[in-house]
Structure 1
Amino acid sequence: MITRDIAAFSAFARSAAADFGPATARAAFLVAPDGFRLAEQSARDNVYMADAAAFDAARASMQHRDLQRAVSAVLPTVCFAGDPATPDAVFPNNVFGTAAGRYVVGRMRHEVRQREAARADIRAFFRDVLGRAGIDLSAQPHPCELTGALVIDRARGLGFCGLSERCDEDGARLMHEAFGLRATLLFDLALGEYHTNVVLAVLAGRAAVVCPKGFADPAVAAAVVALYAPHAVICGEAEHAAFVANCIALSPETVWMSAAAGRALSPGHRAVLADAGFRVETVELDAIEAAGGSLRCCIGELY
């Protein structure tokens, strides 16, 4: 099922068993922020990006290493070298994704990010080292920026796909098929939002973090909250701006977000996550966040 019908999707989702696959990833992969700087093409439709003067390549590199070190304590984490020709490559989850036995290469909107999809070493890692079959969406015309645009409940096989200039309906259908999902809900993001994973996270199939103002239709946000209640965090404006929803469960017990997001997370919302069985782990990523993404955007998942 792939639909815009909220009621039909919700009815299906409520009956979907949590037997689609592992709720959290087996391993993670990163791409180092080598050549980290403002990507002017990406800045055209990413309101979260800072001005060029705010980019600190040395600090970004240090914080990225801290991120890898921290995440490696929870699950195996590999880091590929960056490339000065691809300053946005620090956010690889938009370009490369995985499902059981396969890897997916997305179609990026901007040419500067399309270069990332051609990385022979990353493709060879999935194909030759891990022995996975490839599904290459990078050459077709429809933007589909993988788990930036598509938030997946891996336990139930459910997708939540926000449409914007970074993903159209055809691109959403291609991702739905590539990841083999049971059902995907399509909806429009609010004006100015570029990726769903900035305004929505589904955590190990049993909790959600939602920024209602990131959705064009408030009914969509309400439906997601209802699916995961009582373990649903409804972010206020400060939490939204601090990337609280750009978080990820890297184990059944841990939710990871940037330190700035952790500071913005209200005590009541921290308690909601605790009631769902999660402790919050944080890493300072203010230098990385200048590029318009946060911790979840940095992490590619190996399922």
Structure 2
Amino acid sequence: MITRDIDTFAAFAREASADFGPATARAAFLVAPDGFALAEQSAQDNAYMAEAAAFDASRASAQHRDLQRAISAVLPTICFAGDPVTPDALFPNNVFGTAAGRVVIGRMRHPVRQREATRADIRSFFREVLGRQEIDLSTQPHACELTGALVIDRARGLGFCGLSERCDEEGARLMHEALGLRATLLFELAPGEYHTNVVLAVLAGRAAVICPRGFADPAIPAAIADLYAPHAAVCDDAEHAAFVGNCIALSADTVWMSANAGVALSDAHRRQLAAAGFAVETVGLEAIEAAGGSLRCCIGEMY
């Protein structure tokens, strides 16, 4: 089922069993920020990006290594080399997504990011080394920036897809089918928002972090919060701006976010996550956040 009707989706979601698959990834992959710099095409519709002068390639590289080292304590994490001609490649979850036995290649909006989908080494790793079926959406005309646009409850097979210039309705349908989801809710992001995973996280199928200002229709975040109540942290504007919504559960008991997000996270929301069984772990990513994404954007998940 793929629908814009929140009531229909919510009724289905409440009855969906948590038996679709593992709630968190088995492993993770990163792409190094080699050539880290302002990607002017991406800046056209990413209001979170800083000016070119704020980009510090050396610091971004060091923080990216810190990120790999930190999350490797929770699950196996590999890192592919970057490429200076693809300055946004450190956000690989937009281009490469996985489900059981499959790897999906997304279709990026901007040409500078479309280059990332041609990476023969990453494709070969999934196809030849891991033996996964490749589903290539990169050559069709509809933008579908995978788990940037589509937040997934992996335990229940539910998708939450925000439509913007980075993902249209047909792109959402293609992702829904490629990932074999049970149900996907479509909704418009608020003007100025580019990816759903900046304003929504579903954590191991049992909690949600929601930034209501990122949704065009306030009924949508309210309904999502109701689905995950009492473990729905509804963020204020300061938390939203600090990328609290761009967090990820990498195990049943940890949620990861940037150090800036950790500082902005309210005590009440920290207690709420603790009540859901999550300890909050943070990594300093200030340099990387200049590129308009944060911790979750850096992590490709292997299911």
Shorter-chain TM-score bucket reads over 0.9
Report the residue type matching 2:224 in the other structure: V
1:114 aligns with 114
Q: In the aligned structure 2, how far is the partner of 1:300 from the partner of 1:288? A: 16
Instruction: Note the 1:1-303 alignment, pairs <5 A.
Output: 1-303=1-303
Could you tell me which amino acid in structure 1 is paired with residue 108 of structure 2? M
CA offsets, 1:39-76, max 9 Å, x none? 00000000000000000000000000000000000000
In structure 1, distance between residues paired with 2:188 and 2:128: 37
* Structure 1 unmatched runs, 5+: none
Partner amino acid, structure 2, of 1:284: G
Letter aligned with residue 160 of structure 2 = F
- In structure 1, what residue type is equivalent to 2:37? R
TM-score, normalising length from structure 1? 1.00
Q: Which amino acid aligns with 1:236?
A: D
Two-structure CA RMSD over aligned residues (Å): 0.2
Tell me how far 1:278 sits from its aligned partner: 0.1
CA distance in 1, matches of 2:154, 2:10: 16
Deviation at 1:172, TM superposition (A): 0.1
Q: Deviations over 1:251-293 (max 9, x none)?
A: 0000000000000000000000000000000000000000000
CA distance in 1 between counterparts of 2:273 and 2:145 reads: 28
User: What is the CA–CA distance in structure 2 between the aligned matches of 1:22 and 1:218, rounded to whole Å?
Assistant: 30
CA distance in 1, matches of 2:224, 2:122: 34
Structure-1 separation of matches of 2:6 and 2:101: 31
* 1:163-186 CA-partner distances (Å, limit 9, x unpaired): 000000000000000000000000
2-side partners of 1:119 and 1:23: how far apart? 28
Tell me the secondary structure at the aligned position of residue 297 of structure 1. helix
Secondary structure in structure 1 of the residue aligned to 2:296: helix
Shift of 1:295: 0.1
Please state how far the C-alpha of 1:145 moved relative to its aligned partner: 0.1
Misfit runs of 4+, over 2 Å: none
The alpha-carbon deviation at position 148 of structure 1 amounts to 0.1
CA distance, structure 1, for counterparts of residue 82 and residue 101 of structure 2 = 26
- Return the letter of the residue paired with 2:215: F
Paired letter, 1:4? R
Offset at 1:94? Answer: 0.1
Corresponding letter in the other structure for 2:101: G
Question: What is the distance in 2 between the residues matched to 1:277 and 1:300?
Answer: 23
User: In 1, distance between residues paired with 2:277 and 2:47?
Assistant: 33
Give the SS at the match of 1:202. strand
CA distance in 2, matches of 1:272, 1:149: 26
Aligned-residue sequence identity (percent) comes to 82
